[in-house]
Amino acid sequence: MSTVPAAPDAGDPLVGFAGFAHALAAAGLPVASDAVAAFTRALRQVEVGDPCQVYWAGRATLCRGPDDIPRYDSAFEGWFGGTVPARTPRSGEQPRRARTAALTTTDGGDTGGDAPRLRVAADDTEVLRHRDIAGLTAAERAHLAELIATLRPRPPTRPAIRMRPARRGAVDPRRTVRGMLAAGGEPVRPSHHRKATRPRRMVLLIDVSGSMSPYADALLRFGHVVARSNPAGTEVFSLGTRMTRLSRALRVRDPEVALAAASRAVPDWAGGTRLGETLRAFLDRWGRRGVARGAVVVIFSDGWERGDPTLLAEQLAQLRRLAHAVLWVNPHAGADGYEPVQSGIVAALPYVDRLLAGHSLATLQELLEVARRT
- For range 167-180, the mean pLDDT: 92
Mean pLDDT of the chain: 83
Architecture of domain 202-373: 3-Layer(aba) Sandwich (3.40)
Range in 106-120, 136-150, 197-211, 275-289 with the lowest mean pLDDT? 106-120
152-168 pLDDT tens trace: 999 999 999 899 999 98
Q: Where are the domains positioned within the chain?
A: 13-80, 161-198, 202-373
179-225 pLDDT tens trace: 999 999 888 999 999 999 999 999 999 999 888 989 999 999 999 99
Range in 15-24, 42-51, 148-157 with the lowest mean pLDDT? 15-24
C-beta separation of 238 from 208 below 8 A:
yes
